[in-house]
Structure 1
Amino acid sequence: MEGKLGSKTHSIKIHPFVYKAAAILVLAVGLGFFAANYFLPTSLIVIRTGENELQRVNLSDGSTVILNENSVFKFPREFEDSGYRKVYLFGQGFFEIAKDDNQPFKIVGSSTTTEVLGTSFDLKSYKKNSQINVVTGKVIFRDKNNNERVVLKEGYSAKSTSKGTVVRHEIDEQMMTWRYGELDFKSQPLKEVAKVLSKHYKVKIKLKEGIENCLITSRFENKSLDEILEVLNVIANIESEKDEKGVVNLSGPSC
């Protein structure tokens, strides 16, 4: 037997208010989409450096940046007339900023913001700590929450950590030598020298007890680690030996 499926037509009455609400919703979504696209900042160019890689970046305003290894730098192709020339740094870079009294230069970092008109400085920007050395001019250095703000002149440095910002009346020369391939030590304890060498040459260095505070004064330019260790042996009688794991062990007479 063949069955027949019956059907009924049901009419639904929609209140005019529903049409009005839907129209408003569509208009709002459309305006939101337009605003989001219209007011978005110019797309940023992203530069990333790898291990042992330095890169020079020329900005549209004539400013230049030298990026240290393992850093990320974001900047617009052209700076807009918006009151600030804004860029972003996550890592370390040396900045030479073209002067523009009408548009200060702002660097947004991981934990701090730096503002300048025209100057040169070395900036290290990481999540847990940031440090700046002002070589020329004057900068404003502050944490991201604007809880602490310092004005630094030429020859001053500041370090910002979770505990606050410390200002020094001298720049940290050692922090800035990376861009020249130089290592310049002036009466620095061997333990500090070992930290720099360890980071610079990507090797683990251990010190024999008693030699940590031996003071080292020497300048190295484009030298290998072996060449530097030879110099340390001559000037401070520091012996070096590399074990099977590649760890460099330093020993010598107590200081």
Structure 2
Amino acid sequence: MSKNRIIELLARKQAGEATPAELEELNKLTAQHQDSVYYEEFLKQLWLNPQQEFEIPDAEQAYLLHRLKFADEFSVPEEKPKTISFRKVISLTGIAAVLAVIVSVAIFYFNGQDKFVPDTEIVAGKGVRKKIRLPDGTMVWLNSDSKLSYDSEIKKRKKRIVYLVGEAFFDVAHDKIHPFIVRTDKICVKVLGTAFNIKAYPVDKKSETTLLRGSIELSVNDRSAQKIILSPSEKFALVENKKEETLKSDRSPKSLKDITLTIQHVIPVRIGQNEYIQETSWRDSQLVFQNESLEDLQSKLERWFNINIKFDNEKPKLYRFTGVFKDETIEETLKAMQLIKPFNFNLKDHDLIIY
């Protein structure tokens, strides 16, 4: 229903007939559905190329367009056409019919294409981790404060596409004919069957992909032509640093992106007598960190324990820690860290102040 409504509103916007309320509704829907950019682009092409013929093999769609085309003389039965001329629709039915045709053609077009149109969403809130089995047999471990969206008919699609916000570990069911694709707001990963971890929280400057088994093809969203192949025990990292530059013309600040791409080998972290893969230890409910500052650990602790952290003193931010925690509470974790570096904290409900 949302997809059809988006197409209808986009068509009205293209025709200049959308009301302010409809434009506001459209903005909300497009924000919720990342793939709506495909609809808008298609409608623009449909509007700008009226001579183009569109194949419409579906009987109900053909009947609808046929009825619009011959609205004034529909009393005489007509043979259902397989194609319809968009220019003829304009001349015979006017703008209202044009909008109806655009909506109908667009809905048919996107229903028939193998686009990413998710109808299922799995959310793991802060302090929660989930294990999911997708319809194609792929196993997914979803970390705290993360969301996974996919099509419930993913097994029937030419491409098994999912959209991730946050962090997840994938053990992909092998299918050499139907590639498995993970999209985030910064990177896209394509595999056939393998095990890997993706960390892509919107608030973090760094996005990471860690491969444990098999191979993956990775690309950065705004550099899709550039492909990166990872081998087992390799980690790809994208670090995005935004900087402000003043334009000479108007002296207004302009935001620029400085992106650094790196590939490294995954090195286990040794703590005590045990070794841990820091990038994937969370899947086993273990919070592992090595030589990280308390400021860098802030977002991890917030997601892991479902708390909000504030610093009343700048000095503790610079303290660095190495450790592993599994079943400890946030209070137990902080008390253990106090044995290494001196700091105080005040914990009330979900709010933590460090000073």
The match for 2:164 is 89
Q: Which residue identity does 1:134 align to in structure 2?
A: L
Separation in 2 of the partners of 1:237 and 1:37?
Answer: 58
Distance 1:33 1:133, change over 3 A: closer
- The answer as to whether partners of 1:138 and 1:151 remain within 8 angstroms in 2 is yes
SS of 2:301 mapped into structure 1 = helix
Q: TM-score, normalised by structure 1?
A: 0.72
Deviations 1:62-92 (A, max 9, x none): 1011222332322122235554211111222
Q: Which residue of 2 aligns with 1:98?
A: 173
State how far apart, in whole Å, the 1-side matches of 2:347 and 2:168 are: 35
Name the CA shift for 1:149/1:213 in 2 (closer, same or farther; >3 Å). Answer: farther
Distance 2:344 2:280 in 1: 27
Say if 2:128 is the partner of 1:22.
no
Map 1:11-90 to 2 at 5 A.
21-22=91-92, 29=101, 32=105, 35-36=108-109, 38-41=111-114, 44-79=119-154, 82-90=157-165
Which residue in the other structure is 1:120 paired with?
195
Rg (Cα) greater in structure: 1
Is residue 242 of structure 1 aligned with residue 346 of structure 2? yes
Corresponding residue of 2:261: 165
Aligned counterparts of 2:284 and 2:234: Cα–Cα separation in 1:
20
Matched, 1:131 2:208: yes
Query: Secondary structure of the residue that 1:48 maps to in structure 2?
Result: strand
Amino acid paired to 1:218:
G
Match of 1:151, SS state, is: strand
Q: Which region of structure 1 is more displaced relative to structure 2, 102-111 or 46-55?
A: 46-55
User: Shift in Å at residue 105 of structure 1?
Assistant: 0.6
Aligned counterparts of 1:243 and 1:90: Cα–Cα separation in 2: 28
The answer to whether the Cα contact below 8 Å between 2:281 and 2:287 also exists between their aligned partners in 1 is yes
In structure 2, give the amino acid aligned to 1:103.
Answer: H
User: RMSD between aligned alpha carbons?
Assistant: 3.6
Identical counterparts, % of pairs: 20
Asked if the contact 1:156/1:171 (under 8 Å) is kept, the reply is no
- Looking at structure 1, the residues matched to 216 and 140 of structure 2 have their Cα atoms a distance apart, in angstroms, of 16
- Specify the alignment match of 1:150 in structure 2: 228
Give the deviation of 1:218 after TM superposition: 2.8
| Equivalent residue letter for 2:331 | D
Structure 1 Cα separation of the partners of residues 161 and 89 of structure 2: 45
Residue 116 of structure 1 deviates from its aligned partner by 0.8
Give the number of the structure whose residues are more often helix, by fraction: 2
Contact 1:49 1:69 in 2 (8 A): yes
Q: Give 1:14's aligned residue.
A: none
Contact kept? 2:144, 2:304, Cα under 8 Å: no
Looking at structure 2, the residues matched to 118 and 230 of structure 1 have their Cα atoms a distance apart, in angstroms, of 43
1:78-125 deviations in Å (ceiling 9; x for gaps): 235554211111222111101111221111211211101111111123
TM-score under structure 2 length normalisation: 0.54
Q: What 5-or-longer segments of structure 1 have no aligned partner?
A: 1-17, 250-255
Aligned length: 230
Deviates more, 1:171-180 or 1:152-161: 171-180
Structure 2 distance, partners of 1:92, 1:34, is 33
Instruction: Give 1 or 2: higher strand fraction.
Output: 1
Letter in 2 for 1:96: D
Which of 116, 134, 141 is 2:218 aligned to?
A: 141
AA matched with 2:101 = V
Instruction: Look up the SS of the partner of 1:204 in the other structure.
Output: strand
Alignment partners' CA distance in 1, 2:89 and 2:353: 75
- Cα distance in 2 for residues equivalent to 1:204 and 1:110: 26
Deviations 1:47-68 (A, max 9, x none): 2333323232211221011222
Counterpart for residue 184 of structure 1 = 288
Shift of 1:43: 5.6
Contact 2:126-2:302 within 8 A present in 1 as well:
no
